[in-house]
Chain A
Amino acid sequence: MTTLKYQTVIIGGGVAGMAAATELHKSGSKVVLIEGNKKLGGQVNNWYKVFPNFRPASEIVNSLSTNLLKDKIPVLLETSITHIESNSGNYILKSNQGQVIEAETVLLATGFNTFDPSGKEEYGYGIYPNVLTSVELEQRLKTNTNGISPKRIALVHCVGSRDEKVNRLHCSKVCCVSAVKQAIELKEFYPNAEIICLYMDLRMYDNGFEELYRDAQLQHNIKFIRGRLSECALNIEKDLVLKIQDTLAGLPMKLTVDQLILMVGKEAHQLPQFDESIIIEKASHGFIKPADSHLNPNTTSQPGIFCCGTTSGPKTIQETISDARSASLAVCDYLNKK
């Protein structure tokens, strides 16, 4: 069994992993990028266009992955780390391909999964036709086949976020703006359909988000109703009957829609299995808890093991990339001090 030696092992070939790998390589450290799937890009591959300016997601993934090729950074695809243990300050990682890698530092870029809404059965995911998640909608938009010509589509915010009943208390930050983006895309797809967003709070917090929201209202006539979807049933014509409380009008409300899009939240991706001696502290929402969230957001409770991107919590793509670059700096500092 060959033992490979690197200064840094980056686990997770998504946008964060790629960005960190390029930066680390630039600062001269020997780095390897490990990705479980056949392809780099992680979750961003599932998206067709990204907010706030409808830029194709593939453009971001391609530009980052071409950097990797240009710098000839070693990438191990279809490889997942099965066990990590530390010995005298370095880390030994075993992979499912039988490799053993020794590294001074490990950078976790394992990212996130989207919430499986079948746990929220009252929304009828998998039970009723035409109930799909935002990611599934994005696939259909990519291949521009949505199968039905709807009269009315509803997008439900906070599915698997800010919901104690499915044990997901945190806010996933990006679903609100994605909902508005997808609403606009749907409106362009079906000009005379009525698109409704059902929200509790609309968190359009970053640059260009509020303008996108305003544009959605004014140019595209997207409707926003403040009320959390309580339950969804089928009527005899197989339309989805939604029951909400329009909390601003202070009245219960019933409406039928042809398609229901669930804006699924983010949850932490499964971390590789660590030896008992290594403790990686988790925050309440299951993502990694940085040792110092202000001054050193990329460190973990275990020295030498760093985290970047959505591994430490939901982020937009912009935030993920800048976080990955800051992580590479943290790793370099650590390596220089050693």
Chain B
Amino acid sequence: MNDIEKNVWRKYQKNIADDNYFFVRSCIRQNFFPASEQAFLKIMRNVLGKNVIEDPKHTTCAGIGYHSDVVTFDTLQTIMGRHFSLMTEAGIKNVAISCVTSFGLYSEVLETWKHFPKELEKTRDYLYKATGRTFEIPENIAHCSDIIYKFRNEIAQKATRKLVNAETGEPLSIVDHIGCHYSKIFPEYGEGGAEFPQVLTGMVSAWGGNSVDYPERRHCCGFGFRQYLVQANRGYSVSNTYKKLVSMEPYKPDFIVSNCPGCTMFMDKWQYTISEMEHKTFGDGNQGVPVLTYEEMAGLILGYNPWDLGLQMHQVSVEPLLKKMGIPYDESLKFADKNGHKSSVPFQPSYIL
């Protein structure tokens, strides 16, 4: 990264709290990549020894509803107000948000309150009428990937492996994809701004990998709610992913890492759809390009068992990557439950994925 990138990046330095986080889960990540959030908590608590509080009464941030014009902006502010009141009750000032879409919404709501104080008053009034709750505005907003980025070096020390090719020792070439709502709406909320966000590239370089700069790097992954939700638009959604995959193909990336539930999910699932529709597959040996969340990537280098990280739930099989990184895995236990019983094996599609 040359100096202009550096001083462009320096303009967008965030201060991220270093302990006592209120963990705001994502509503869809559990079923997209079930173990990712669990891995985040394990790393924060066991590896980094941080205090991360959760509250079962915490609900969805209604992001999908809001972006699909089902939930109004006032309802959204009130829900967020309620989460802040849970935090106030738990006495925590810093919030750690797991999903990029809700991170975008939290920054949007906070910016609205900053510029339009009347909205804040209105939300307080609605919340009190509805639940009798009051709340304070948290001091520090951070996305979970910000926090992992902040402690990337500590994790690197504790890591048992690097992001390198086991045989050749070459660093893996990794494509990073930042969720658009992370910094494209409010650049100053993102680590490194909108053009050259550093949050994932920082992790990749700290853990020995090489991040790839391909022309369509900043292009949207196609996840847009109104695109994939409505079948008529779904073609438009898959075309965006296709455009990105074609653009990164010459660089032969080993895997893609993303910090947003939707991007990871669709870049992974659409590769299967594209291979069915167009008979076109990507990645070396046409085995597809595996798509990991940053927690899964962190988990791998910390030596967690791949199946505990839920890698068997990926559409693009991660086994070739595990072989490449020299990570041992037990094929037979791929679909076994916690105590080793094999319940059922999901349908294996005819194509590679």
Contacts and interface: CB of A to CB of B under 8 A. Distances in A.
Contacts of A235: 214-215, 250
Nearest to B2: A127
Contacts of B2: 126-127
Given A122-B195, A236-B250, A236-B251, A127 B215 contact: no
Interface string A97-136: 0000000000000000000001001100111000000000
Contact of B215 (A122, A125, A233): A233
A233 B195 contact: no
Nearest to B217: A233
A282 to B, nearest CB: 26
Q: Which secondary structure characterizes the binding site on chain A?
A: mixed
Contacts of B70: none
A210 B23 CA distance: 64
Given A236-B250, A236-B251, A121 B4 contact: yes
A77 interface: no
Contact of A127 (B5, B214, B216, B251): B5
Nearest to B248: A236
B213 interface: yes
B1 to A, nearest CB: 9
Interface string A231-243: 1011110000100
A235 B4 CA distance: 19
Contacts, number: 29
Given A235-B215, A241-B215, A118 B4 contact: yes
B195 A121 contact: yes
Nearest to B5: A127
B214 to A, nearest CB: 8
Contacts of B196: 121
Contacts of A241: 215
Contacts of B8: 118, 121
Contacts of A126: 2-4
A337 B217 CA distance: 66
B188 to A, nearest CB: 15
B215 A234 contact: yes
Band of interface residues on B: 10 to 19
Interface in A224-279: 231, 233-236, 241
A104 B195 CA distance: 52
B181 to A, nearest CB: 19
A236 B8 CA distance: 23
A233 B3 CA distance: 17
Interface string B191-224: 0000110000000000000000111111000000
Contacts of A125: 4
B123 to A, nearest CB: 32
A233 B247 CA distance: 11
Interface string B1-14: 01111001000000
A57 to B, nearest CB: 29
Contacts of A121: 4, 8, 195-196
Interface in B1-40: 2-5, 8
B245 to A, nearest CB: 14
A87 B18 CA distance: 59
A31 B343 CA distance: 97
Nearest to B218: A231
A118 B251 CA distance: 27
A122 B213 CA distance: 14
A172 B151 CA distance: 48
A126 B7 CA distance: 11
A241 B217 CA distance: 12
Contacts of B251: 236
Contact of B4 (A122, A127, A231): A127
Contacts of B250: 235-236
Nearest to B193: A121
A94 B214 CA distance: 54
Nearest to A127: B4
A125 B7 CA distance: 13
A234 B247 CA distance: 11
Contacts of A118: 4, 8
A90 B131 CA distance: 73
A122 B187 CA distance: 14
Nearest to B252: A236
B10 to A, nearest CB: 13
Contacts of B3: 126
B292 to A, nearest CB: 23
Max chain A Cβ within 10 angstroms of own Cβ: one of B3, B196, B215: B215
Nearest to A243: B215
Contacts of B216: 233
Interface string B222-252: 0000000000000000000000000000110
B4 A234 contact: no
Contacts of A127: 2, 4-5
A127 B3 CA distance: 8
B155 to A, nearest CB: 29
A142 B250 CA distance: 38
Contacts of A233: 213-217
Contacts of B217: 233
A121 B4 CA distance: 9
Nearest to B4: A126
B167 to A, nearest CB: 24
27 contacts: A118-B4, A118-B8, A121-B4, A121-B8, A121-B195, A121-B196, A122-B195, A125-B4, A126-B2, A126-B3, A126-B4, A127-B2, A127-B4, A127-B5, A231-B218, A233-B213, A233-B215, A233-B216, A233-B217, A234-B213, A234-B215, A235-B214, A235-B215, A235-B250, A236-B214, A236-B250, A241-B215
Interface of B: 2-5, 8, 195-196, 213-218, 250-251
Kindly list the 10 A-B residue pairs having the minimum CB-CB distance in the complex, ordered from nearest. Answer: A126-B4, A233-B215, A236-B250, A241-B215, A121-B195, A127-B4, A235-B215, A121-B8, A118-B4, A127-B5
Given A121-B4, A125-B4, A126-B2, 4 more contacts: A118-B4, A118-B8, A236-B250, A241-B215
